[in-house]
Structure 1
Amino acid sequence: MAETDPKTMRDLTSMVQTLLQQMQDTFQTMSDQVIGRIGNTSSHIDNLEKNVADLMAQAGVEELEGENKIPATPKS
């Protein structure tokens, strides 16, 4: 056995607790990173939607909704 192998039940319990705490810390860090990325992605999507709406307004196109999408008549 290696020197780090548990020799008693108490040692084993301590090792398992340490391992579980490390796993929890790693999971929390990863979770925080994912949530941060989702927030950034959401912000980018919001900006993209606004830019598309602005471009449509500049082009004189109304936003289309519903199943029967009919473009606005061009202004003369």
Structure 2
Amino acid sequence: MADLSKDYMSNSADPKNIQDLTTFVQNLMQQMQDKFQQMSDQIITRIDDMGNRIDDLEKNIADLMTQAGVDEHV
């Protein structure tokens, strides 16, 4: 049993294992950063679309009020 523990400790400290773990973590972090950037871009696009829709709605309401002869300052 002590031999297995000793082998594990020596293998886990192996520079190749450390390098593999470092590479894995770096890749995982890059994937997470890419996913967050993608989500952020989608949110910004949706906010911009919503802003455009609100602008269009305000314009349409103003046009309807003008057509109805309602003063906008009421």
TM-score when normalising by structure 1: 0.72
Hey, what's the Cα distance between the residues in 1 that align with 2:57 and 2:66? 14
Q: Does 1:44 align with 2:53?
A: yes
Q: Does 1:9 align with 2:24?
A: no
Higher Rg: 2
Q: Does 1:29 align with 2:18?
A: no
What do you get for the CA RMSD once the two structures are aligned?
1.2
Offset, 1:30:
0.6
Q: Which runs of 4+ in 1 moved over 3 A?
A: none
By relative contact order (CA 8 Å, sep 6+), the higher-ranking structure is: 1
TM-score when normalising by structure 2: 0.74
Is the helix fraction higher in 1 or 2? 2
Identity %: 61
Offset, 1:62:
1.0
Gaps of 5+ in 2: 1-15
